Structure 1
Amino acid sequence: MIFGFISRAFRKKIVEPIKYGNKEDYNVEKYWHDRFLKYDLNIKGASNDGISEEENYRMYKWAETIFINILRNKNLNPKTLKVLEIGLGNGFYTNIMNQLKVKNYTAIDITNILFSKLESKFPKYSFIKKDVTQEKLEGSYDLIIMMDVIQHIVNDSKLEFAFNNIKSCLSDKGIFILTPINKKTQKHLFYIKWRSLENIKKNFEDYNISEPIKFKGELLITIQKSSLKSVH
C-alpha cells in the first residue's frame, strides 16, 4: 500500500507534469485521452484513481441519489428537458439520463476515445467532441450539467471562456448544475485547480446561485438566470 502511494505520487507530481505540461495549462486532450484509454468505462477513469473501483462506485451511487433529488426538487420533467452535459467522461450521468427517460440529451467531451462504446450503449443520444474552453457551443438547453470537470480547467482564461459559453446557451428558465466547488481557489496538481464559490460568483453576477449542497466530499450548486440572488 505504501509503495503504491509513493508510486502514484511520483507519477502525479513528476512523471505526468513532464509529459503533459505543468505551467499555466496542460495538454488536456492528450491527458484525458490517455487516462480513458487506460481505464476505459471504469469509474476510476473519471473519478479518483487513488481509491478502488468499489470505493468509487459507492461514492458515485450516493452522488446519483443526490443528483436525482435535485432534479425532482426543481420540478424538472426529464421527458421534456433539452439536456447538455459538458465532460461526460465514462457516461455515468448519461446512464442516469437514460434511466430517467430523458429524450433530448447531448454530451460533449474533449476526447472521443469512449464515444463508440457510449454510442452503442445509448444510440438515441448525441456525443460530440468539443473543447468547451475554446470552441463555441450551439443551441439552447433547459439543463446543463458540468460534473467533475471544473477542477480540471486550470487556466483561468479558459474557465472564463467556458462559463461565457455556458451562459450563451442556457435557456431563460434553464438550470446549470456545477460541481465540485471548494472552500478556496488553489492549484492542487498539474491537472487540478480547485475553485471557490466566490470565484464562481464573479462569473455569474446576474444569476441566482443556490445554497451549496454537500456532494462527494466537495460542494454542488445550481445556477439560474435571475436578478435575485440567494447567495451574497
Structure 2
Amino acid sequence: MATHSELRDFWERRLEGDWTASGVGYRALGRSFNTWMYRVRQEVFLRELSQIATRGCSVLDVGSGTGFYVRQWERLGASAVTGCDVTDAAVQRLADRFPEHRFVRRDAADLGGIDADTFDAVSCMDMLFHITDDERYGRALAEFARVLRPGGLLVVSENCLQRPERRGEHQADRTLEWITAAADKAGFDVLRRVPMLMLMNAQVDAPMLWRKVWGGALRAATVTESTGWLAGAALYPLERRLVKGRRESPTTELLLCRLRA
C-alpha cells in the first residue's frame, strides 16, 4: 500500500501529464472511451441530484481533478462552488478554467482552513477508493461532516463491493457494509445508492472470470483512440439503459447521503 505522500506524488505526476478524462478516469482505456464513459456519469449525476439538490446551494467539491463535477454543479444551479484537490497541477488549471469559483489545495482528510458548517452539499467523486488507508478514509468523512451544515448533502461515488474487499497500491475497493458503517460513524444516513456505470468500467464486484474476460475485451477494443471512440459509442446507449434499469452495479455506484441534524 502506498503512503499518503506517494499517492499525492502519483496524482501530481498523472494530472500534470494528462489533465483530461483519461487522466482522472480509467486511463488504460484511453481518452476517447473515457469521454463516452463520462457522458454516462454526467447523466446519472444530473438525474439524481436534480431530484434532491436545491438551486442556489453552496458546494464543496473534493478531488476536483479536471472540474468535471464543478461543471455539473453549475448546471444544477449551485450559487457558489469551492473546489479542492491534493495536486498543484489541478488547482492551478482549475482556477484558470473556472475563474468565478474558488480552488484550494487540500487533502480530503484535512480540510484545514475551511470553516465548519459552511456548505449545503459536498461532493467527492471517484476519489474515496484511492484513499488506501482506512483511518484517513474515516477522517475524510469526518471532515465532510464538519464543513457541511446540519442536514447537508454528501454525494460520493464508490465501488461498494458485496464480495470480499480488494486492495492495490493506489486503490482500495471496500465492501458496502464497511462503507455504510464508516458513513454512519461520521454522522451520515445513506438516502439512495444507484449504479453510475455498469459495463464501461472495471468490473470490481464481479466473479473473477467475468472480470478478466470483460476487462481484456475492453482493453482490446480501446487499443487505439479511434477504436476506443467506436467502442464507447457502441456501449453508450446500452449503458444508459442499464444504469436506469438496475439496482446494483458490478462497478461504480453513486451514493447520496444526508448529514444528521
With structure 2 as the length reference, what TM-score do the two structures score?
A: 0.72
**1:65 matched to 2:46:** no
**1:182 matched to 2:216:** no
C-alpha deviation, 1:101, in angstroms: 4.0
Match of 1:77 among 54, 75, 94: 54
4+ aligned runs moved over 4 Å, structure 1: 23-26
Which residues in structure 2 correspond to 1:197-212 (within 5 Å)?
197-205=176-184, 206-212=187-193
Match of 2:255 among 203, 210, 221: 221
Instruction: Give the unaligned 5+ runs of structure 1.
Output: 1-21, 228-232
| Closer/same/farther in 2, CA of residues 224 and 51 from structure 1, 3 Å limit | same
Structure whose residues are more often helix by fraction:
2
Q: For 1:110 and 1:66, locate their aligned partners in 2 and report how far apart those are by CA, in whole Å.
A: 26
Q: For 1:117 and 1:134, locate their aligned partners in 2 and report how far apart those are by CA, in whole Å.
A: 22
Residue identity matched to 1:219: E
C-alpha deviation, 1:72, in angstroms: 1.3
1:39 maps to 18
Q: For 1:187 and 1:26, locate their aligned partners in 2 and report how far apart those are by CA, in whole Å.
A: 21
Which residues in structure 2 correspond to 1:12-51 (within 5 Å)?
22=1, 27-40=6-19, 42-51=20-29
Q: For 1:130 and 1:65, locate their aligned partners in 2 and report how far apart those are by CA, in whole Å.
A: 28
1:98 maps to 74
Residue-by-residue CA offset, 1:124-178 (whole Å, 9 max, x unaligned):
1000001122443424211100100111000011111111111112211211011
**1:132 matched to 2:108:** yes
C-alpha deviation, 1:27, in angstroms: 1.2
2:119 maps to 141
Residue-by-residue CA offset, 1:51-71 (whole Å, 9 max, x unaligned):
021111111111101101111
Structure whose residues are more often strand by fraction:
1
Q: For 2:13 and 2:81, locate their aligned partners in 1 and report how far apart those are by CA, in whole Å.
A: 26
C-alpha deviation, 1:30, in angstroms: 0.6
C-alpha deviation, 1:99, in angstroms: 3.4
Q: For 1:166 and 1:94, locate their aligned partners in 2 and report how far apart those are by CA, in whole Å.
A: 17
In the comparison of the two structures, how many residue pairs are matched? 203
Match of 1:108 among 79, 84, 96: 84
C-alpha deviation, 1:88, in angstroms: 0.5
With structure 1 as the length reference, what TM-score do the two structures score?
A: 0.80
Q: For 2:104 and 2:3, locate their aligned partners in 1 and report how far apart those are by CA, in whole Å.
A: 26
Q: For 2:77 and 2:86, locate their aligned partners in 1 and report how far apart those are by CA, in whole Å.
A: 25
C-alpha deviation, 1:23, in angstroms: 5.2
1:3 maps to none
C-alpha deviation, 1:221, in angstroms: 1.0
Secondary structure of the 1:114 match is helix
Secondary structure of the 1:151 match is helix
Give percent identity, aligned residues only.
19
C-alpha deviation, 1:120, in angstroms: 1.9
When structure 1 is superposed on structure 2, of 151-160 and 127-136 the one drifting more is: 127-136
Does the CA contact (< 8 Å) of 2:159 and 2:173 recur in 1? yes
Secondary structure of the 1:138 match is coil
Provide the aligned C-alpha RMSD in A.
Answer: 2.0
Secondary structure of the 2:50 match is helix
Q: For 2:34 and 2:76, locate their aligned partners in 1 and report how far apart those are by CA, in whole Å.
A: 22
Q: For 1:37 and 1:185, locate their aligned partners in 2 and report how far apart those are by CA, in whole Å.
A: 34
